[in-house]
Amino acid sequence: MPELKEMSLQEADAMHVMPTYARQPLQVVRGEGVFVFDEKGKKYLDLTSGIAVCALGHCHPALVAAATEQIHTLWHMSNIYLTAPQAQLAEKLTQASGFDRVFFSNSGAEANEAAIKLARRYSKHKYGAHKGEIITFSHSFHGRTLATVTATAQPKYQEGIGPLPGGFRYVESMTMESVKEAITPKTCAIMIEPIQGEGGVRPVPGDFLQALRNLCNEYGLLLIFDEVQTGAGRTGEWLAWQTIGVKPDIVTMAKALAGGLPMGATMAMEDVAINFSPGTHGSTFGGNPISARTAVAVLDTVMAPGFLENVRQTGLFLQRELMTLSSSVEEISDVRGVGLMWGVELARPFAGKVMDACRERGLLVLTAGPDTVRLLPPLIITEEKLVWAVQVLGEAIAEVFEKVEEQ
């Protein structure tokens, strides 16, 4: 056998991992609470939470204990058998979410795939085989599988991978007229993120969501909320629909549900859920005992008295800090968000540059499109840490815009 070449991790990554990510020049080796550390031990305040995944911070003791105990008990069994963590999670999760039944998968895209299949099965069964079209919106993001990337009404995600599956219609502007225009006799559902995440942190107005609810009732359509990013406490309630007060027929979750382990969930009330019968859908890993046991710990932590109230208070604090910053920094053109999910829109498309300048100062933030800096802090963040973060963000924005002026 030829000898393995000695390669640095950077070389191995650059040569042998498919280049789907524009990798940041940072190797993360360890996480603790709201901080992560690089290989030299440098500390970063993490306002990304692994893109809204590590919502309780890194290595939260309750989650580590739950996962560790389950690792020593049972890693995996087929879904043809009952396992305790999955049944316990199903009961707690449906109760917290306001639904009767759940289908477990491993990711956001899979949770949305299940929602699409379920909506179609329900509608075909109830109204006839012609039903199947789903309406989605500009700036949406629903995942990377072929069906969910087609549901994602953003051409940049669909380049070079056609033919795409049919059955989706896009609405450009969030007006009732445009939605009504898109409805055909084949329409079976409307799918929307209550706060568009990847598409720029855009909260959808509550009265528009209520109007969609009424329209769905009137036309016999199912309303699907993609809460993959907004779920598990991010908006100050367990789910964003509870913050807004408009209940969908199907809701999907993933990202933060198991605090960093892979897990997706698709929930519905009984009359919709029974359209999945044995053999109509499935997943080898879905509802895995380690993920399920850890998700129970996430739920117990987030639903403990006072936790969500604290998220709401901390969210309002962050909002005030960002508003104060934007009133003194003219390069900030908009500040949008709910709870602990915020977007800071810049007057020019420099979000990536600002992200770099923040990282150099020990602060990790995300972008959402070319002009929006996105903040998704762990839900356990303190006001003191946010004060520092907003100050650093202000400095980073000033530096980036100054450099551009000089050029």
| Number of residue whose CB is nearest ligand PLP | 108
Burial 173-194 (b: 16+ CB within 10 A, else e): ebeeeebeebbeeebbbbbbbb
> Cβ of 154: how many Cβ atoms within 10 Å?
17
| Binding region for ligand PLP (CB under 6 A) out of 18-26, 106-114, 202-210, 326-334 | 106-114
Q: Which of 94, 97, 107, 314 binds ligand PLP (CB under 6 A)?
A: 107
Q: How far is the CB of 229 from ligand PLP (least distance, A)?
A: 3
Structural Rg of the chain based on CA atoms = 22
Tokens encoding 331: 């390069």
Q: Which of 197, 236, 259, 377 binds ligand PLP (CB under 6 A)?
A: 197
Distances (CA, A) of 143 to 89, 136, 254, 287, 378: 24, 13, 11, 19, 22
Binding to ligand PLP by residue 113, rule CB under 6 A? no
Nearer to ligand PLP, 106 or 326 (CB): 106
Nearer to ligand PLP, 112 or 266 (CB): 112
Nearer to ligand PLP, 241 or 401 (CB): 241
User: What number of residues does the chain have?
Assistant: 407
Nearer to ligand PLP, 299 or 366 (CB): 366
Q: Which of 109, 116, 212, 357 binds ligand PLP (CB under 6 A)?
A: 109
Q: Which of 193, 321, 331, 345 binds ligand PLP (CB under 6 A)?
A: 193
| CA–CA separation, 324 and 322 (whole Å) | 5
Residues β-bridged to residue 372:
345
Nearer to ligand PLP, 136 or 326 (CB): 136
Q: Any idea which residues carry the catalytic annotation? A: 141, 226, 255
Alpha carbon distance, N-terminus to C-terminus of the chain: 53
Q: How far is the CB of 223 from ligand PLP (least distance, A)?
A: 15
Q: Which of 47, 149, 201, 254 binds ligand PLP (CB under 6 A)?
A: 254
| Tally of CA atoms within 13 A in the half-sphere of 113 that contains its CB | 19
Q: What is the DSSP letter of 36?
A: E
| Cα torsion through 305, 306, 312, 314, rounded to 10 | -140
| CA–CA separation, 401 and 407 (whole Å) | 10
Burial of 92 (0-12, 13-18, 19+ CB in 10 A): middle
Nearer to ligand PLP, 187 or 252 (CB): 252
Q: Which of 33, 50, 108, 378 binds ligand PLP (CB under 6 A)?
A: 108
Q: Respond yes or no on whether the N-terminal peptide bond of residue 163 is cis (omega within 30° of 0).
A: yes
254 contacts 87 by C-beta, under 8 angstroms: no
Query: What x/- string results for residues 199 through 228 when contact with ligand PLP is judged by CB under 6 A?
Result: ---------------------------x-x
Tokens encoding 357: 């300048």
Query: What x/- string results for residues 138 through 157 when contact with ligand PLP is judged by CB under 6 A?
Result: ---xxx--------------
Amino acid in the structure at residue 271: D
Query: What x/- string results for residues 51 through 90 when contact with ligand PLP is judged by CB under 6 A?
Result: ----------------------------------------
Residues that bind ligand PLP (CB under 6 A): 107-109, 112, 141-143, 193, 197-198, 226, 228-229, 254-255
